[in-house]
Amino acid sequence: MKILLLASIFFALTLSGNAQVSFGVNTGFNLPDVYTTEEVGPVPNTSIGFGYHLGGILEIAFTNYFFIQPGIMFTTKGFQFDEGTHSQSVTCTLDYIEVPVNAMFKITSGTLKYLIYGGPYAAYGLAGIAAGASAISYTSTEQISFGKNGNELRPFDLGFNIGTGIEVNRIQYIVQFGLGLRNMSNSPGETINNYVFGISGIYLIGGR
């Protein structure tokens, strides 16, 4: 994560004299879930949850069609599942600070620009919560911890994003998919990987 953050600062400081740099505010919604496997026992059936993201980006223009877009985001991931006890529906929400660095291509058609991009991200888990509700009005909440113990999730996540969208009047409308490549589970024989579908709006200031 530190490497990606330092790379973002490096781009901003060293290339701003030779390239057009725009600042942007990025906000939107997440549809997160996890991919799970277990060597022993049943794999829980999870479903897509709901979250959001908010942060800032730099957009560094090397040409009229090639850009580098690093950023820093607060983002919520997680998943939902049904638990047999009390017939509960449980929603797990995981809070992360995420640093993406994307390469973006733009194709201009009149006042409209078509966007396609992709790149790596690093994220660090801050906190999490599991909230359950049942048909008999039984509710419960439990904190989800990040750490090294077997009942905790690993805090560092690494993965990649791909996305596409359009840009109109310096506002980008984007659909994105992000896949975590690092196993979040500390339990032997179990793997848990984040994945997220996102919808974003980015308002650009400055640059071209």
What does the pLDDT look like over 83-136, one tens digit per residue?
Answer: 655 556 788 899 999 999 999 999 999 889 999 999 999 999 999 988 876 554
Contacts of 143 (CB under 8 A, 6+ apart): 127, 128, 129, 130
In this prediction the pTM is: 0.83
CB 167, CB 21: distance < 8 Å: no
Query: CATH for 2-205?
Result: 2.40.160.20
CB 146, CB 129: distance < 8 Å: no
89-108 burial code (b ≥16 CB/10 A, e <16): ebbbbbbbbbbbbbebebee
- Alpha-carbon span 74 to 52, nearest angstrom: 8
- Alpha-carbon span 34 to 40, nearest angstrom: 18
Domain ranges of the chain: 2-205
Residue-wise pLDDT tens digits, 149-201:
888 899 999 999 999 999 999 999 999 999 999 999 998 888 999 999 999 99
